[in-house]
Amino acid sequence: MTRSLFSDLTLRDRTFSWGQQTYLMGVLNVTPDSFSDGGQFNTLESALNQAQKMVTSGADILDIGGQSTRPNAEEVTLAEELDRVIPIIQTLRQHSEFSQVPISVDTTRSQVAKAAIAAGADLINDISGATFDAEMLSTVAKLGVPIVLMHTRGTPKTMQTLTDYEDLTGEILQFLAARIQAAIAAGIDRRQIIIDPGIGFAKKTAQNLEILRQLSVFRSLGCPILVGVSRKSFIGQILNQPDPQTRVLGTAAACVSAIVGGTDILRVHDVAEMHDACRVADAIWRPCPIN
C-alpha cells in the first residue's frame, strides 16, 4: 500500500495524514431507534460517558447522529433532530477533555449542519451525498468545513427496495464522482471532501462484499475514503448473528479487509476492539512502521 497523495486534513489540533494510519470515527447515536444501539445513549449523561469511553479507547473523531438511518427508519422532525444533537455537542465542548476532539455530525439537513458547527462540531457526515437537502453543499461551503459524501439510493425507508444494479461499482463511482463535482462547484475545497461507498445502504449482502473487494477502485476519485461496516446486517447474515452487538469479531474482519483495500477512516461502534485490529493491520499494510 503506497502513501496517499491526498492533502492532510487538520481538525482542531488533530492532523489526519492520509495513508499513514487508519483513523477511527466513533459512533455516538443519540437516538431511541438506531439499529445497533438505539436508546443506549440518548440522554446527556449516557452520551457523555460513551464519548469518554470511545476517546479513551482511541477514537479520532466522534460522529453524533440524531436521526436513525437504519433500513425502514422513520424520519424525525427538524426540531427533534436539533434537540437531540445540539445539546450533546455543547456539553462535550464544555468539558476540557473533549475540547480538541474532532466532532462530526451525521445529518442530511443543512440547518442541522449549520447549528451543529455553531455549537462546536467540525465535520458534516451526510449519508445522502448531500442530495436530500439542496442547501447542504452551499451551506457547507459557507461554513468552510469538511464533508463526507456517501452513496445511497432512496431514503432509509425505501433503500432496501432499490438494490438492483447493472454495474454496482461503476454506478457507485459515477454517483460519487458527480457529488464531488457538485461539491466543488458549490465552493467546497476538494481537500475537504471525503467519500463513502455506503456499505449497507441500498445494497444486499453480496453487494456489500463486492464493494469491500473492489474498494481500492474508489481511490481513483482522489478523495480519502470512509467505510462503515460496524455491526451491519451483512455480517450478521454471514455469521447467523441476529443481535448486532454480537458481531464484534465479524466487524473486525471487515474492517481489516477495508484497510487492505485502502480505506482511511473506519466508522465503528466498538472503538477499543477496532483500535487493536487496526493497529495490527496498519503495521502489516501501511508503509510507516509502528514504534
Sheet of strand 61-65: strand arrangement = 193-196, 147-150, 123-126, 103-106, 61-65, 23-29, 265-268, 226-227
Residue 108 has phi, psi (to 5 degrees) of -110, 5
203 is annotated as an active-site residue: no
Q: Which of 206, 207, 203 is nearest to 162 (CA)?
A: 203
DSSP letter for 30, please: -
Q: Return d(Cα 288, Cα 291) in angstroms, integer.
A: 9
Report d(CA 60, CA 125) in Å as an integer. 15
CB atoms within 10 A of CB 279: 14
Query: Which cell numbers in the block locate residue 151?
Result: 452513496
Cα-based distances in Å from 237 to 22, 85, 137, 244, 247: 26, 31, 36, 10, 10
Which of 203, 219, 247, 267 is catalytic? The answer is 267
Which residue of the set 84, 232, 247, 286 is catalytic? 232
The vertex-7 CA angle with 3 and 11, nearest 5°, equals 115
Cell of 157: 425507508
CA distance between the termini of the chain: 19
Q: Taking the CB of residue 288, how many other CB atoms lie within 10 A of it?
A: 12
232 is catalytic: yes
User: How far is the C-alpha of 52 from the C-alpha of 54, rounded, in Å?
Assistant: 6
Catalytic residue positions?
232, 267
